[in-house]
Amino acid sequence: MINKLIHKIEENKAPIVVGLDPMLGYIPEHIKEKAYKEHGETLEGAAEAVWQYNKGLIDATYDLIPAVKPQIAMYEQFGIPGLVAFKKTIDYCKEKDLVVIGDVKRGDIGSTSAAYATAHIGKVQVGENTYRGFDEDFMTVNPYFGIDGIKPFVDVCKEEKKGIFVLVKTSNPSSGEFQDRLIDGKPLYEHVAEKVAQWGSECMGDSYSYVGCVIGATYPQMGEVLRKIMPKQYILVPGYGAQGGKAKDLAPYFNKDGLGAIVNSSRGIIAAYKQPAYEKFGAECYADASRQAVIDMREDINSAILG
């Protein structure tokens, strides 16, 4: 799947991923009103609004982007109906030939990690039948448990030719409370990066590993160091735009060929119509605003990394 992701990035000239992280406050009133009329102001109504909102966003942007990244918490808040919307979103994105990165940040040990991997990127046996649960192409993983927590995911990656993105240096302001702690003269995130490179060497695509990493856009100096430690890892870069990351800071995350990283934007795209730059589109044309935001982001990033 890493080969497909790279191919689609090259094909679209867009090293970007759209974070499908819907909040009810982002969803235009006309979508919510229709969903509530059909299902009431219920969890089912909220989930239907989320699904219809996502569908509009996907329809407007799928030909411009290589991948999407739905954040499962935004769906879980609506219970089982929300998870149904999550699954419908994944399936629809795959119908559009998009690569799906499940932002689920799972991590445990042994059979629990194996079950998480099965649920999101693997398959489960039920009697004589085999089923895929959510069936993303990649998932985000927390490395805190060490190899006991990572190996079950890597095993499924090898079997399914799918991938994981391991948290190395996150974009949130307090990440340094743990991640920047010095151990044997190096910050913890460098030790994690070394392990990610080691884990990734066991399952390679043509040029990059199925095991990638997450490094926030808000830490470009660290990105430069980590890029050298993990030359074969694809970097998922959150924090662009709304969280303060700038395109000019992204060059260190990429290799000289312009590959090696994919940059996420969530509300900066999916709620673009609420921003002054795109408010002319209005709520009724929220998806058109998102399409323009994708075009602008693509140009911004390409100008920064390619010159």
**Average pLDDT of 250-256?**
87
**Residue 177: both structure tokens together:** 């409370």
Digit-coded pLDDT (tens) for 5-16 = 999 999 999 999
pLDDT greater than 80 at residue 68: yes
Active site annotation includes 105: yes
Structure confidence at residue 182 as a pLDDT band (50, 70, 90): very high
| pLDDT recorded at residue 185 | 95
| pLDDT recorded at residue 171 | 83
Helix, strand or coil for residue 181? coil
pLDDT greater than 70 at residue 245: no
Digit-coded pLDDT (tens) for 206-238 = 999 999 999 988 777 888 899 999 999 999 999
Cβ-based neighbour number of residue 13 at 10 Å: 14
**What single-letter DSSP state applies at residue 204?**
B
Q: Average pLDDT, whole number, for the chain?
A: 94
DSSP string, 66-134: SEE--BTHHHHTTHHHHHHHHHHHHHHHHHTT-EEEEEEEE---HHHHHHHHHHHHS-EEETTEEE-SS
Digit-coded pLDDT (tens) for 2-58 = 999 999 999 999 999 999 999 999 999 999 999 999 999 999 999 999 999 999 999
Residues in contact with 147: Cβ distance below 8 Å, sequence separation at least 6, in sequence order: 195, 199
| pLDDT recorded at residue 243 | 53
Digit-coded pLDDT (tens) for 130-176 = 999 999 999 999 999 999 999 999 999 999 999 999 999 988 889 88
pLDDT greater than 90 at residue 200: yes
Residue tagged active-site, from 105, 123, 161, 246: 105
Phi-psi bin for 169: left (phi > 0), alpha (psi -120 to 50), beta?
A: beta
Structure confidence at residue 239 as a pLDDT band (50, 70, 90): confident
**Average pLDDT of 122-135?**
96
**Average pLDDT of 71-100?**
98
| pLDDT recorded at residue 307 | 62
| pLDDT recorded at residue 242 | 59
pLDDT greater than 90 at residue 257: no
Burial class (CB in 10 A: 0-12, 13-18, 19+), 161: middle
Structure confidence at residue 249 as a pLDDT band (50, 70, 90): confident
Whole-structure pTM value: 0.95
Amino acid identity at 298: R
Domains in the chain, start-ordered, CATH in brackets? Answer: 1-306 (3.20.20.70)
| pLDDT recorded at residue 244 | 56
| pLDDT recorded at residue 80 | 98
User: Comparing 306 with 98, which gets the higher pLDDT?
Assistant: 98
The pLDDT > 90 percentage for the chain reads 84
The strand ranges marked E within 186-257 are 186-187, 211-215, 235-237
| pLDDT recorded at residue 252 | 87
